[in-house]
Every structure is written in C-alpha cells, then in structure tokens.
Amino acid sequence: MDVAIVGGGPVGLFIAASLSRMGYSVTVFEEHSDIGNPSHCSGLFSGHILEIVGGKERRGVLKATSKAEIVAPDGSSLQIQSTTTKVYVVNRVEFDRSLARDAINKGAEIRLKERVRAVSKGFIKTSRGEYQSRIIVGAGGINSVVRREIMVSAPRIIGAAQVIADYHYEDEDLVRIYVGNKIAPGFFAWIIPLGDDVAKIGLASYGNSWLFLKRLLKRLNAQPLSVSGGGIPVSTVSKTYGNGMLIVGDAAGQVKATSGGGVYPGLKSAQCAVRTIEIALESGDYSRAAMKKYEDCWRREIGKELSNAQYIHRQYRKIKDVDFNNIVRELNRPDMLKIINEYGDIDYPSKVVWKLLKKNPRLIKYTRIIARK
Ligand SMILES: Cc1cc2nc3c(=O)[nH]c(=O)nc-3n(C[C@H](O)[C@H](O)[C@H](O)COP(=O)(O)OP(=O)(O)OC[C@H]3O[C@@H](n4cnc5c(N)ncnc54)[C@H](O)[C@@H]3O)c2cc1C
C-alpha cells in the first residue's frame, strides 16, 4: 500500500479520504469495531472545521449557536452573543462516520477491530497481520504507537469527564462555561444543550475531573444518562516526523490548550500532511528531510496560534477565584463585550485577548498578578 494510517478518528479519516481521492492506495487501521465510538468529544465545532471538510449538511450538525455565558466563581456572569462567528453543536459519531464514508467512497480501505501493535520504516504489525507501506501516518490519538517509534515524548495531557444528562435548560441555544478553581482547577466546565432537556455536561481539570463533575452535576441537579471521558493534550510534541512517518492530531498534541478543541488544528495539520505525502509519493523520497516539510507546514499554519494558546493556558492556570470574579466584571462592559462579540473566535483566541488588553489596560493588572505567581 502507499499509505497506512493508524487510527480512524477525524484526522486519520480526513487524510485517508484526501489521499484516496488523488488515487493512492490507503488503508486505515482502527482498533475499535465502530467508527466514532466510543465518543469522548463534546462536539462543539467552529465553522472553520466544516469549511475544511465541506458538505456541512451531512456532517452530523445538530444546530448552530452564537450565544455563550461564562459564569464566574461568585455566580456573576458574562453573556456573549457573537455577531460574526457561529459555533456548531455536532453529533461527533455522525461526523466521524461521514468522514469514513468519504474515505471508503474514494477507495480507501478501513480495517476495523485491527490494532496496530508496532511500526518501523515501511512496516506495520497489527493484531491480525503484517503489512508494508511506503508511508505511515500516526493519527491514533493521545496514545500513539507511531510517536513511540519516532522517539518523541507524549504531550502533556489533562483529564476530562463528560456526561450526557437529563437537564432542564432555560435557553437551548446557550453554551454555558463555568470557570473557577472549585469547579474545574486549571480548566473549565461546560454545558452544551442538545435539545429536549438533554445536555452534554463536562469538565477538564488538573484535579480529579470525575469528582469535580459529580459535584457540578449535584449542584445542577442533572441526572447522567451516559458517561465518557478522555485525555486532552495541552502541549504540542517536539517533533512530528520520522523516516517515512508522520504524526498528526492528538498524537502530536495539536490541540488548542485554551479550549481543548483538537478537531480544527488536527484537520489544519492533516492538510499539511496530505501535501507532504503527495510530494513524497510522487518523488519516491520518504526520508526524514522530505517528511520534515509537514512539520514546517503545520507550524507555519497553526503553530503560532497553538503556542499562544499554550501561553494563555499556562497563565490561566494561575488565576485565583477572586481574580476570575474581577476579570468577569472588567469584561462585562459594553466596549469589552463589543470586542468579544466581534473578534471572539474559538480557533484563534489570542486575537481577542490582545484586543481586550489594549482596550482595557486595567486587565493588564491581572496578567501582571498572574505573571508574578
Ligand atoms: C471530553 C472531551 C471533549 C472534547 N470536546 C471537543 C470539542 O467540543 N471540539 C473539538 O474540536 N475537540 C474536542 N475534543 C478533542 C477532540 O476530541 C480530539 O482533539 C480529536 O478527536 C482528535 O482527533 P484524532 O483523529 O487526532 O484522534 P482520535 O479522535 O483520538 O482518534 C484516534 C483513533 O485512533 C484509534 N487508535 C488508537 N491507537 C490505535 C492503534 N494502535 N491501532 C488502531 N487504532 C488505534 C482510536 O481508537 C481512535 O479511534 C474533546 C476531547 C475530550 C476528551
């Protein structure tokens, strides 16, 4: 085969569809028996994701929303209503399956229930057999077997817990975010309404996320219908290529550390992977130097925003509850809200942060307090 892809998540499937469309022979190995399951994701997607994959109407979009509320530890809140950007609540299982259908329709083979145990240059050993491939792509998420082969340390991971819950909601179009160290230390909690008094309620944190989530559910009087959890990378890895190999998506830590959203940066990086692989297959050069073009590409396209997000995340971790309350108060001004509503973009959070600091220098005080800690 030309390309073997370890992992049938959104990143691996997108690469498979793109390369098969160009006429290459591609096989995806997925350890589970069902594409999309088990799903750990909240399915909150920016419009950029749907632009990359196209065909919005068949990607499991449940609804669009542009409203969010951020709740501070003291209960005060900030209501955001974007004038420019919409986010989409997406059925992630349907989303992944739609990408799998694209890949199959273009000629890719998806081998379910086949776990890749080991890889080396041009060679794959799975739970069912052994294969040869000109290029191997590691898109297996946080526990990447390909990352191990290219001898790169794993990204930093934080734990997330989520439930689908029976929960009465006043506004079915509003995504609610809770910040604070007693709610979700180092990260945040979320409620994403799915409709008909059902919502996804989850959180990620530097503590025991299940314990914090249980407390939140009790406080909200929400009854879980199903539970899931997973790890979210909050740092990118030092190197994402090897001899005839690449790692993409969560495997490479290509996730926004501010929000935990990994699908957009994963797909942006996947586009770079596709371009690099096409050139390599055409030239027959799969050396490290040829594969490095992928790393140059994704760092140029999305690397700066990912490292800005990591910086903001590191500062955010140091914020005390009293400062969260003050920051929410400072942002709750018409001029601040106007900037958030106009420039807020979950895929490019640093843009709005710099604009807010410029407009309201009082906020700089908090960045200084944080920087001192
Ligand atoms: C609770 C939670 C909520 C989230 N919410 C959002 C959100 O709202 N929006 C967003 O953009 N992102 C969200 N994310 C992050 C997002 O889910 C990931 O960034 C995204 O799934 C990464 O895609 P991927 O294809 O790189 O990896 P994955 O989706 O992890 O897919 C990897 C696939 O590889 C398979 N695999 C692994 N190892 C092997 C092997 N050795 N052999 C064969 N198969 C293998 C796995 O079974 C899996 O199917 C969330 C994450 C969590 C944990």
> Which residue minimizes the CA distance to atom 16 of ligand 1?
262
**What is the spatial distance between Cα 260 and Cα 232, in angstroms, rounded to a whole number?**
6
Inform me whether the pLDDT recorded for 351 exceeds 90.
no
CA 123 vs CA 17, 28, 113, 248: distances in Å:
22, 14, 19, 18
Condensed to tens digits (0 to 9), the pLDDT of residues 231-256 reads 999 999 999 999 999 999 999 999 99
Query: Residues near ligand 1 with C-beta < 6 Å?
Result: 6-12, 29-32, 40-45, 115-116, 139-141, 143, 145, 160, 162, 202, 230, 232, 249-250, 255, 260-264, 266
What confidence score (pLDDT) does residue 59 get?
95
How many Å lie between the centroid of ligand 1 and the Cα of residue 141? 5
> Which residue minimizes the CA distance to atom 4 of ligand 1?
41
Question: Across residues 297-306, what is the average pLDDT?
Answer: 96
Q: How many CB atoms lie within 10 A of CB 125?
A: 14
14, 29, 31, 39: which to mutate for ligand 1, most atoms within 8 A of CB? 31
**What is the spatial distance between Cα 11 and Cα 250, in angstroms, rounded to a whole number?**
9
| Residue 5: Cβ-neighbour burial (10 angstroms; 0-12, 13-18, 19+) | buried
Question: Across residues 331-353, what is the average pLDDT?
Answer: 77
Percent of the chain having pLDDT more than 90? 75
Q: Residue ranges per domain, the chain?
A: 3-65+90-156+235-302, 158-232, 315-372
HEC sequence for the chain: CCEEEECCCHHHHHHHHHHHHCCCCEEEECCCCCCCCCCCCCCEEEHHHHHHHCCHHHCCEEEEECEEEEECCCCCEEEEECCCCCEEEECHHHHHHHHHHHHHHCCCEEECCCCEEEEECCEEEECCCEEECCEEEECCCCCCHHHHHCCCCCCCEEEEEEEEEECCCCCCCEEEEECCCCCCCCCEEEEEEEECCEEEEEEEECCCHHHHHHHHHHHHCCEEEEEEEEEEECCCCCCCEECCEEECHHHHCCCCCCCCCCHHHHHHHHHHHHHHHHHHHHHCCCCHHHHHHHHHHHHHHHHHHHHHHHHHHHHHCCCCHHHHHHHHHHHCCHHHHHHHHHHCCCCCHHHHHHHHHHHCCHHHHHHHHHHHC
> Which residue minimizes the CA distance to atom 30 of ligand 1?
141
Inform me whether the pLDDT recorded for 371 exceeds 60.
no
Which is it for strands 245-247 and 135-138: parallel, antiparallel or unpaired?
Answer: parallel
Inform me whether the pLDDT recorded for 175 exceeds 80.
yes
Condensed to tens digits (0 to 9), the pLDDT of residues 98-142 reads 999 999 999 999 999 999 999 999 999 999 999 999 999 999 999
Mean predicted lDDT score pLDDT of the chain = 92
- Superfamily grouping for domain 158-232: D-Amino Acid Oxidase, subunit A, domain 2 (3.30.9.10)
CATH architecture of 3-65+90-156+235-302: 3-Layer(bba) Sandwich (3.50)
What is the pLDDT confidence band of residue 368, given thresholds at 50, 70 and 90? low
| Same CATH fold assignment for domains 3-65+90-156+235-302 and 158-232 | no
Inform me whether the pLDDT recorded for 352 exceeds 90.
no
What is the pLDDT confidence band of residue 367, given thresholds at 50, 70 and 90? low
